[in-house]
Copies of this chain bind each other. A is one copy, B any other.
Amino acid sequence: MTCSVINQVAFSIKDLQISYGKEKVIKGIALDIQEKEVTAIIGPSGCGKSTFLKTLNRMIDTVPSSRVTGSICYRGQDIYAASTNVVALRHNVGMVFQKPNPFPKSIFDNIAFGPRLQGVRDKQKLKQIVESSLKRTALWDEVKDRLNSSAFSLSGGQQQRLCIARALAVEPDVILMDEPCSALDPIATAKIEDLIEELRKQYTIIIVTHNMQQAARVSQKTAFFLTGNVIEFGETAKIFTKPKEKKTEDYITGRFG
């Protein structure tokens, strides 16, 4: 399938199917994800939402039995095309994981890792990148005096913000977040949510969350997944006050099946 550039659309997904071995996890979905918005993906366990997220930066390639068909166009380019450089894709499409996963290095080196991979060697430049990334995640004031301490000296919430800063340091366009708060307490969660709100001015964010309320709070668009299909996709405010589909309504209000 060919991709064309659509204005203000970061990802255009058509007819996407994903299987693990013989099990079909995503059964043909289509979505257009707008840039500079937070798109939340909700749905019960096993609906395929995390799998879907992982295809967007091809982290699903690390699952040996996975098979992806259909087309995912990122800014007009098919990310599953043979000519696609996965590394370049992942520079553009960053990812934040369920559990904070800083490297066992200093705070500075954690953030500098990405730029160094891209060949940035200049100390001054690196410093600048580290500082601006930390500032953008509101972590600078908390850690500026101990950039050389281990990243593990931070609290869970700070670690997760560090991971976000690390993702920002490679100057991505899109940030994928896979239940980024599920390992955090409510206060740390609230801070991450505030951060997401801040970041969406500059980045396109796609967040998978199994917490409906979180989706309601942070996102502009929400997609409701059920057993590998997208049941409803639209404005978050609409989805949570007057969903179009009965299945969405039933899921949101706890009546389903």
Q: Which residue numbers of A lie inside 8 Å of B, CB to CB?
A: 44-45, 185-188, 190, 210-213, 254, 256
Contacts and interface: CB of A to CB of B under 8 A. Distances in A.
Contacts of A187: 44-45, 256
Contacts of A212: 186
A212 B186 CA distance: 8
A44 B185 contact: yes
Given A44-B186, A45-B187, 11 more contacts: A44-B185, A44-B187, A45-B185, A45-B188, A185-B210, A186-B210, A186-B211, A186-B212, A187-B256, A190-B254, A213-B213
10 contacts: A44-B185, A44-B187, A45-B187, A45-B188, A186-B210, A186-B211, A186-B212, A187-B256, A190-B254, A213-B213
Contacts of A256: 187
Contacts of A44: 185-187
Nearest to A188: B45
A186 B214 CA distance: 12
* Most B CB within 10 A of own CB, among A45, A211, A256: A45
A63 to B, nearest CB: 21
A75 to B, nearest CB: 33
A131 to B, nearest CB: 25
A23 B153 CA distance: 19
A45 B188 CA distance: 9
